[in-house]
Amino acid sequence: MPSSLPNAAPRVAPRVAIVGATGAVGVELLRCLAERDFPLASLKLLASSRSAGREVVFRGQTLTVEALGDDSFQDVDLALFSAGSGLSKVYGPKAVAAGAVVVDNSSAFRMDPDCPLVVPEVNAETLADHHGIVANPNCVAIIAAVPVAPLARAFGLKRLQMATYQAASGAGAAAMEELRASTQAWIEGRPFAPQVLPHPYAFNLFSHNAEVDAESGYNGEELKVIEECRRILAAPELPIGVTCIRVPVLRAHAIAITLEFECVVSPEEVREVLATAPGIQVVDDRARNHFPMPSEAEGQGDVLVGRVRRDLGDLSGRSIALFVAGDQLLKGAALNAVQIAERLFPAAKAQSRSSDLVTAS
């Protein structure tokens, strides 16, 4: 960590705060910290005043959620933020000033040149340049970058085209509940008026609900994916096209990806690279028509990659089509943040869970 930071020498077991601890991603952050045996000297759970006082069990201990405030980050080494860009912009710098390193899951700092935008399997080396805040990328950008990056390194990448199939989890816990409730209403033949999303969700799909740019026709989600993929891949001029669609799936995103390489590439060569790339499971069984599915991506941290085939629309032989699926709440959000934390505090990751001392702050 840069010597200019107040906590330039990382503690073996950092004192951690989670901002937005009761939200969908906050819940997954807690689960990831527990399942990956991330040692903690203390854990502070922060949320809005509405959630203050709620009790949460973590590693057998009951912790009480506190209201987020200006003085919430005293005695905190690592702050994991998942509470929206507005709160991140206000409280992220305050956490850094108090001596914490911030890993932020919102869009607030993703294009800030002073804040690395990190997918650990792809560009962990950029963490050396952080100034207190590290940005967790958009979920689609993370899930796409994990398979795209090793292929780009192996063959050179000229163009990237994607179509996404995005789950309700990307719009938060309220959207997930709306999908459940609207599906039940549809089955029972009852009317249901959407409150969270702009269109009926059960047995339907629609263009991502981010605001559409009048000039380009691209919505905000698509523009974010383009900008963030370019930054993660260190390819600022890379031509990228993307169409983002919301589908009635609870929590795992899928993406159809077409890559145009600088040379002729065979599907066999692509599979060989993917088979040894970190964070990937190859699911590519043509005989059984078994390829990546959200139902199999849900609840685990790897990106499933399959349907590896030549793009028959490119007669040059330089384009390959893929289909991928990844858990939006895990690799697309919480897990990626915890993996960043493990890189920031490697001594903590090396310590065994048996020596942890977890105390409520």
Between CA 97 and CA 103, with CA 100 as vertex, the angle to 5 degrees is: 115
Distance CA 62, CA 43 (A): 11
Using an 8 Å Cβ cutoff, are 85 and 21 in contact?
Answer: no
Q: Is 139 marked active-site?
A: yes
Among residues 69, 71, 81, which one has the least CA distance to residue 19? 81
Do 30 and 56 contact (CB within 8 A), yes or no? yes
Q: Which CB contacts under 8 angstroms, 24+ apart, belong to 223-230?
A: 224/107, 224/110, 224/138, 224/141, 225/138, 225/140, 225/141, 225/144, 225/162, 225/164, 227/110, 227/111, 228/110, 228/111, 228/117, 228/137, 228/138, 228/141, 229/141, 229/144, 229/145, 229/148, 229/160
The two tokens of residue 94 are 């305050």
User: Which runs of E-coded beta strand occur in 59-185?
Assistant: 61-64, 66-67, 78-81, 101-104, 133-135, 157-166
Residues ≥6 apart with Cβ < 8 Å to 50:
none
Asked if residues 119 and 335 have their Cβ atoms less than 8 Å apart, the reply is: no
Quote the Cα angle for 69-70-72, to 5°: 65
Phi, psi at residue 162, to the nearest 5°?
-140, 150
253 is an active site residue: yes
Which one from 115, 139, 229, 244 is the annotated catalytic residue? Answer: 139
**Dist CA 289 CA 36 (whole Å):** 33
Residues annotated as catalytic are: 139, 253
